Amino acid sequence: MMNTTKIFASMRLLHRISKLSERKIHEIPLTKDHYGIKRGPYASVTDQDINQFERILSTNNQILLRPEDTAEYNRDYFRYVRGLGTVVLKPRSTEEVSAILRYCNIRRLAVSIFGGNTGVCGGSVPVFDEIILSMELMNRIVSIDEYSGLLVCEAGCVLAKLEDELSKKGMIMPLDLGSKQSCQIGGNLATNAGGIRLMRYGNLHGSVLGLETVLANGEVIDLMSNFKKDNTGYHLKHLFIGSEGTLGVITRVAMSCPVAPTTQNVILLGLKTYNAVLQTFLQAKKQLGEILTSCELIDQASLEYTVEHLKTSSPIDAFPFYILLETTGSHKEDDEEKVRQFLEFSLEEGMVTDGIITSEPSKIKKLWQLRERIPAATYSNNFCLTYDLSLPLEQFYSIVPAIRKRVGHLVNIVCGFGHIGDCNLHLNIAGNILSEEIRKLVEPYVYEFTASLKGSVSAEHGIGLLKPGYMKYSKSTAAIALMKQLKSIMDPNGILNPYKVLPYN
Ligand SMILES: Cc1cc2nc3c(=O)[nH]c(=O)nc-3n(C[C@H](O)[C@H](O)[C@H](O)COP(=O)(O)OP(=O)(O)OC[C@H]3O[C@@H](n4cnc5c(N)ncnc54)[C@H](O)[C@@H]3O)c2cc1C
């Protein structure tokens, strides 16, 4: 008889044979097996429960039960995780969300909240047979007020759709992500998403003026506000921003949205050293000031790999580092003058050797693709370990050569890129077979390195299912204990997104 451990090992290998981004659903390992998770003390769904959900939801197409319909709700965008949910519910209103949760809480049915499913940490899909609560039908824009810059909408609105509607009134969303065609504003709040405009407009804790949320027991908490200033009591909305669906279901959002800029420049610069990167970033902040919107770092490995993946040629010579800068403003000549002075200074001082600048929309798109398609390029491998770290700028890049030294010869690529303007590095390590040797050389080294610099092991992607065990590298035992206390007050039966965010073992 074959040894069980060996069978599992060879099954795991089978799952990794097809490229990550092309995995068929049955090739994704079941989360519960892959991560050895024990099912919590929850009830299993019965026919009576389905009858009750049918009574709560107003139309038939709000419940999916056929395996071929529920399959897509059981796997994440990155094909890391696969759950066993058999019921998908699609509420159309806060009242329906409330009635579903009230019932699930009484019945002890666990619930997994599903937004645009672009999350990076496996938080949006069930682990076992949790009820899948999809927010996709709660997609109405309630109002857009150009005078106050206020957007009020339901949580299931897709980010790109909000951007389109705002543009009709000369406004933009304060956040922009590569996933905007699918991600939802509720998911953005739940993950406290960052993205490429954060440097200019700050994070969601600043731009979300109010929100409505439904607690695990079905109670609706109205924290909506139309004002930037509201100091009445504790600022509860912040608890839900970044809580990844573990404290409540976000159903409605009020956001402060900036006026759309009328001018845009994108600059790609080649730099010889990391010190030149730092100096150029500093000068960009000083000389471009309020028009500087994004500052992204791309290393040579990232650019070369992406260019090859896109089957295109690099618009710039080879350099160890590149900086992609974007400026947006409201006065073409003023902006151009600032950009000209900044470039002249950077060239004269020898910080920058080569670069490209464009204000043409089609060329802007192509330059941004070089940054935005790096994850897709690395995910075209059979495996990709991805880390999303906040690090002090002086040591920002040092983890990349350190990891290259440890595993460079065992993998296809080790690359570093990301939002240097926000101290947020993305480190991707991709290759053919993820051996235990590679994993042990990378982890916990990456986390210990980050902790030693008092950085964050999750700068913007969150904790989800994949990282609860690593929270200890960025949060103290007392802080994690307080989080657990909050969870037990707000969701005493633990029905919302179980096995996610908080360490469960
Ligand atoms: C190509 C690409 C580029 C990306 N770029 C960035 C980037 O630049 N910056 C960044 O921060 N992230 C980025 N991401 C990650 C991802 O897009 C964000 O985390 C996004 O905010 C997730 O939104 P979503 O609607 O897809 O949420 P989902 O993936 O559906 O869910 C994420 C988590 O939020 C919970 N959730 C979803 N909706 C609600 C709700 N209404 N109420 C309560 N909980 C909810 C889910 O249960 C889950 O735990 C990128 C992803 C991709 C694929």
Q: Is 118 in the pocket of ligand 1 (CB under 6 A)?
A: yes
Which residue did the predictor score with more confidence, 77 or 389?
389
Q: Per-residue pLDDT for 4 more than 60?
A: no
Q: Whose CA is nearest to atom 2 of ligand 1?
A: 179
Hey, which CATH number is domain 382-461, 3.30.70.2740, 3.40.190.10, 3.30.70.660, 3.40.50.1370? 3.30.70.2740
Task: For ligand 1, say whether the CB of 130 is within 6 Å of any of its atoms.
Answer: no
Q: Which of 17-21, 44-48, 275-279, 421-425 has the lowest mean pLDDT?
A: 17-21
pLDDT above 60 (res 307): yes
97 contacts: CB under 8 Å, gap ≥ 6: 91, 133, 138, 214, 249, 251
Residue 50, judged by CB atoms within 10 A of its CB (0-12, 13-18, 19+), counts as middle
Judge contact between 270 and 353, C-beta under 8 A: yes
Q: What is the mean pLDDT of residues 158-178?
A: 97
* Residue with CA closest to ligand 1 atom 16: 119
Q: Verify whether ligand 1 is closer than 6 Å to residue 177 (CB atom).
A: yes
Residue 48 CA, ligand 1 centroid: distance in Å: 33
186 lines ligand 1 (CB under 6 A): yes
Please state the rounded mean pLDDT for residues 55-71.
93
* Gap from CA of 217 to ligand 1 centroid (Å): 24
Q: Where in the chain is the domain with CATH 3.30.70.2190?
A: 263-374
Residue, of 2 and 187, whose pLDDT is higher: 187
Residue 117 Cβ inside 6 Å of ligand 1? The answer reads yes
pLDDT at position 263 over 90: yes
- Testing ligand 1's pocket by substitution, the residue of 76, 97, 124 carrying the most ligand atoms inside 8 A of its CB is 124
Q: What is the mean pLDDT of residues 372-384?
A: 92
The whole-number pLDDT of residue 76 equals 93
Residue 389: alpha-carbon gap to chain centroid: 13
pLDDT of residue 21: 63
The CATH number, out of the four listed (3.40.140.10, 3.90.1750.10, 1.20.1050.90, 3.30.70.2190), of the domain defined by the range 263-374:
3.30.70.2190
Tell me how far the alpha carbon of residue 9 lies from the centroid of ligand 1, in angstroms.
Answer: 31
DSSP string for 60-127: GGGEE-SHHHHGGGGB-TTS--B-----EE--SSHHHHHHHHHHHHHHT--EEEESSS--SSS-SS-S
Instruction: Calculate how far, in angstroms, residue 31's C-alpha sits from the geometric centre of ligand 1.
Output: 19
Residue type, 57: L
Overall average pLDDT of the 386-412 stretch = 97
3-class DSSP assignment, residue 393: helix
**Residue 183 Cβ < 6 Å to ligand 1:** yes
User: Residues of CATH 3.30.70.2740 domain(s) within the chain?
Assistant: 382-461
Q: Is the pLDDT of residue 255 over 60?
A: yes
CATH code 3.30.43.10 region(s) in the chain = 4-134
Residue 246 reports pLDDT greater than 80:
yes
Please list the residue range(s) of the chain that carry CATH number 3.30.465.10. Answer: 141-256
CATH number of 4-134: 3.30.43.10
Q: What is the mean pLDDT of the chain?
A: 93
Segment 101-128, tens digit of pLDDT: 999 999 999 999 999 999 999 999 999 9
The residue whose CA has the least distance to atom 23 of ligand 1 is 187
Is a pLDDT exceeding 80 seen at residue 60? no
Residue 454 has pLDDT above 60, yes or no: yes
Q: pLDDT tier at 16 (50, 70, 90 boundaries)? A: very low
Q: Which one has a higher pLDDT value, 21 or 119?
A: 119
Mean pLDDT of 135-163: 98
Check pLDDT > 80 for residue 482: yes
Rounded percentage of the chain residues whose pLDDT exceeds 90: 89
pLDDT at 96: 98
> Considering all CA atoms of the chain, what is the largest pairwise distance in Å, rounded to the nearest integer?
78
CA of 118 to the centre of ligand 1 (A): 5
Q: What is the pLDDT of residue 24?
A: 78
Residues 6+ apart with CB under 8 A from 380: 19, 20, 21, 309
List 255's β-bridge partners, or say none: 151, 208
Report the percentage of the chain scoring pLDDT > 70: 95
User: Quick one: pLDDT at residue 7?
Assistant: 23
Atom of ligand 1 nearest to the CA of 464: 49
What is the pLDDT, as a whole number, of residue 80? Answer: 87
Q: What is the rounded radius of gyration, in angstroms, for the C-alpha atoms of the chain?
A: 23
pLDDT at 9 over 60: no
How far does residue 220's CA lie from ligand 1's centre (Å)?
23
Instruction: Specify the CATH architecture of the domain 141-256.
Output: 2-Layer Sandwich (3.30)
Among the ranges given (62-66, 152-156, 199-203, 225-229), the one the predictor scored with the smallest mean pLDDT: 225-229
Q: Is 288 helix (H, G, I), strand (E, B) or coil?
A: helix
